[in-house]
Chains A and B, each alone.
Chain A
C-alpha cells in the first residue's frame, strides 16, 4: 500500500484519522501503533517480526546503557576524582559493549538480508579469478520494506542514549511507535527520537488547520509523483534499458529525465508523508530543501535526502574524524605536509566511509558504490583545490555575489548531479561509463527531434505538461527559498478563493495524473532501497 495509491489516500488514511479522532486521547498512540503495524504487515506480512525485533533490541540496549549511566552517577558521588575517572573508564567500556552489541544486531540483520548475496557473489567471482573453486552460496532472504530506514532510526536512538543526548525511554509503546509510525515506514524521513517520539505519543486531537495544511501538502506531493515522475517513467525505463540504441543527446535527455523523475518521486513522496504526519499534529524532519539551487555538491547533499546526510554526518563522519587514529593521522600529516595536507587526509579518512555507506545504503550494487565514490571524489577534489579557489575568489572578490556566477555554480552543480544520477540509474558502472562516453562523443541535438523520440512513449501533450509541471515545481521551490509559505497564504485566502485552490489541486492530480488505462503503476523507488 504505497502512499500515492487510492487505497492509502481514500481508505487507509481516512480510516486511521477517523478512529484516531473518536478514540479517547490516551488510546490514540495505540491507534497509531496498530495502524503502523497493520500498514507494515500489509506489504511485509510475517516479516514485520524484523521490525518488532529491531524495536526490542533498541529498547533493551537503550535501557541497559541508561541504567549503567545512572548507576555511575550514583556511584561517583563522594568518590575521589581519580577513582571517578577509573570507574568512568570501566563503565564507558561496558556501555560501548552494549552499544556495539545493539548496533551489530541491528546492522547485522540489515547486512545479512540486504548484502549477503552481493558479498557472496563477489567473493566467489574473486576466488574464480585466482582459479580457486568454491566460495559462498547465495541464499534467498526476504527483505522487509523500510529496513534501511528504520534500522538507522534504531541505531541513532542507541547512540544518542549512549552519548547522553537523550534518556532511554522506559515506555516500550513510545519506542515502538517511533519505529512504526506508518507514514515513515517505507521511505523515511529518518527521524531522531527527540524529533518525533513525544509528539507521536501525545495523541493531540485533529484540528482543521492541521488536516487542511496536511491535505494541501499531500496533494502537492501527489502532483509531483503522479503528474511528473510517473509520466517520465516510461521514457526513463526505455532509454536506460536500450541505451545502446540511442544518440548521446537522447541519453543526456534520459539522465535529465531520470533526475527529474527521482526528485519529484522522492520529494513528492516526502510531501505526502510529512503532510500525513502533519494531519496528526506531528512535525517530521524535512528531507529536501530545494536541492537544485545548490552551488556545489556538498551543499546539494545538505539539501537532498537531508535526513540521510545528517545521519551519516552524526553517526559516521564525526565518530570517524574524532577517533584517536584519525586525530593521530592528522597530526602526523600536519607535521609533514602542513595544515591543508592534514585537512585532505583527515577529510579523506572520514568521508570515504560516509560515501561508501551512502552508496551501499541504496542497495547491494556496484553502480550504487560507484555513485557514492563519485561524490567522494567530487567533494575531495573540492577540498584539494580549496586553496586555488580561495585565491581565485580573493582576486575576484565581487564574483561570488554576482548573480550570473551563482547561476553558473547552480548549473554546474546540476550537471554534476545529473551525471551522478546517470550512474545511479544505469544497470552498472560500465554501462554508465558507456552512456557518458556516448553523451560526450556522439551528441547530436537533432536526434531529439528524430523518429526515436516519438517512440519513447510520450506525445507532445505529455511533453508540454511535463515542462509546465516542472516549471511550477521550480517556481514553488524558488518561493520557498525566499521564505514564502504558499500553504499558509492559501489558508488565509477568502473562502471562495481557498476552495478554488483546493479544487484546482485535486483536479490537477485527477486529470493530469499518469494513472489508469495506458499507464503502469510505478512503485515507490526509494521504498526498494
Chain B
C-alpha cells in the first residue's frame, strides 16, 4: 500500500471514530442535572450553578466537602448582599476544579473565585494524579468518557435529545449538616517553618486556574476553612508561599478560630473534619465579611433583579 493511501486510511479511521465519539457524547450527556438523569451524585449540587441566570454570581467557591459543609451562600447574601455559589464536590481535585471553572465561565463571570486550599493536598501519587487529570481532561472534551456509565439508564429522552432546563440548587451548593462530634485534639496550628509543598500536578492546575481567572478579570482568593483533621501549619506555609509568589490573597481561617468564635465541642460534625450547621454559620459570617470588606463587592439586596435571592434567603433562615 502506498504511503499516501496509508495516511488517508489512518485519517479516515480516526475521523470516523471522532464522529462516533461526538454522537455518543451527545447521546450519553445527561439531559437534566439530576441523579436519575445520570449526573454523578457528587456533581448534582455543583451543577445547579448552570441553572443560575447568566452573570448573576459574584463569588464562586471551588473546593471539597470541607467547603460545601461550611459555606452557606444564602446566609452570605442575607448578611452581605453578595451572590455566591459553592461549586464543591466530595474529594474534588484541582484538575476537576479547573475544568468546572472553564465550564462556569461559559455562563458566569464572577468577580471573585474562592479556592479552598484543602483540594491542593488531595494527593496520592504523581502517576495517579496525572492519570486522574487525564481522565478529567478527556471527560471535559469528550463527555462520553465521563458519562459512559449512563448505558444503564439511557431512555427515549436521550435519543430524542430532549434537554431540560437545568434546575438551580436552592442552597447554592451548600449542604447543611446537623449533629456534633467534638474535636478534642487541642491546638493544631503551631507556628513552624516546615513547608508542605503543593505537589506538581496540583500546582500546575492551580496555575491554570490563576491564569484563567486573570483572563476573565476574576480575582483569585485562596481560603482555608477551619479543619483540624485536614489542616496544619506546614500546609498553611505551603499555600502562603504560593500566594506570596503570585501576589494572591490568602485567608487561613484556621488561624482565626478564636476570633470567629469556633467552639470545637459544638461546631464540628465529625471531630474536626467538617463543620456542622453551627460551625458553617460562623465560617460563612467571617468569610462573607472578609470578602465584602477586602474586595468591595456590591450589595445587591435592594436590586429587584436579585429578588429571588431575598426570597430564598428568607426561606433558608426559616428552615
Q: Which A residues contact B (CB, under 8 angstroms)?
A: 1, 5-7, 10-11, 42-43, 208, 459, 461, 495, 499, 502-503, 506-507, 510-513, 515-518, 521
Contacts and interface: CB of A to CB of B under 8 A. Distances in A.
19 contacts: A5-B131, A6-B131, A7-B127, A7-B134, A42-B127, A499-B13, A503-B17, A507-B20, A510-B145, A511-B24, A511-B151, A515-B148, A516-B135, A516-B139, A516-B148, A517-B146, A517-B149, A518-B149, A521-B128
A493 B145 CA distance: 29
A43 B128 CA distance: 10
A39 to B, nearest CB: 10
Contacts of A42: 126-127
B244 interface: no
B148 A10 contact: no
A511 B144 contact: yes
Contacts of A10: 134
A-B pairs, 7 with minimum CB distance: A517-B40, A461-B152, A7-B131, A6-B134, A1-B127, A5-B131, A511-B148
Nearest to B144: A510
A507 to B, nearest CB: 7
Nearest to A499: B13
Interface of B: 6, 9, 13, 16-17, 20, 24, 40, 42-43, 125-128, 130-131, 134-135, 138-139, 144-146, 148-149, 151-152
B39 to A, nearest CB: 9
Given A10-B134, A208-B6, A521-B128, 9 more contacts: A1-B127, A6-B131, A461-B151, A495-B9, A503-B17, A507-B20, A516-B139, A516-B146, A516-B149
A60 to B, nearest CB: 32
A510 B25 CA distance: 11
A213 B20 CA distance: 22
A7 B128 CA distance: 9
Contacts of B151: 461, 511-512
A6 B142 CA distance: 14
A383 to B, nearest CB: 46
Nearest to A513: B148
Given A6-B138, A517-B42, A510 B130 contact: no
B134 A518 contact: no
A43 B17 contact: no
A365 B40 CA distance: 39
Contacts of A502: 13
Contacts of B13: 499, 502
Contacts of A518: 40, 149
B130 A7 contact: yes
B135 A43 contact: no
Contacts of A521: 128, 131
Contacts of A503: 16-17, 20
Contact of A515 (B9, B130, B135): B135
A495 B20 CA distance: 17
Contacts of A506: 17
A19 B9 CA distance: 22
B127 A43 contact: yes
A516 B126 CA distance: 18
A461 B138 CA distance: 25
Contacts of A461: 151-152
A503 B9 CA distance: 15
A510 B148 contact: yes
Contacts of B138: 6
Nearest to A42: B127
Contact of A6 (B9, B135, B148): B135
A6 B138 CA distance: 10
Contacts of A5: 127, 131
A112 B229 CA distance: 36
Contacts of B24: 507, 511
A499 B17 CA distance: 10
A461 B151 CA distance: 9
A513 B135 CA distance: 13
Contacts of B9: 495
Greatest chain A CB density within 10 A among B9, B16, B135, B144 is at: B135
Contacts of B20: 503, 507
Contacts of B149: 516-518
A208 B5 CA distance: 13
Contacts of B145: 510, 516
A507 B131 CA distance: 20
B279 to A, nearest CB: 29
Contacts of A495: 9
Contacts of A43: 125, 127
Contacts of A208: 6
Contacts of A516: 135, 139, 145-146, 148-149
A499 B146 contact: no
Nearest to A498: B13
Nearest to A521: B128
Contacts of A1: 127, 131
A387 to B, nearest CB: 56
Contacts of A499: 13, 16
Contacts of B134: 6-7, 10-11
Greatest chain B CB density within 10 A among A7, A461, A495 is at: A7
A42 B125 CA distance: 10
A502 B125 CA distance: 33
Contacts of B16: 499, 503
A521 B16 CA distance: 30
A461 B130 CA distance: 31
Contacts of B42: 517
B219 to A, nearest CB: 31
A485 to B, nearest CB: 23
Nearest to A460: B152
Contacts of A512: 148, 151
Nearest to B129: A7
A150 B148 CA distance: 37
A506 B16 CA distance: 13
A495 B13 CA distance: 10
A517 B125 CA distance: 19
B86 to A, nearest CB: 19
Contacts of B130: 7
Greatest chain B CB density within 10 A among A5, A11, A506 is at: A5
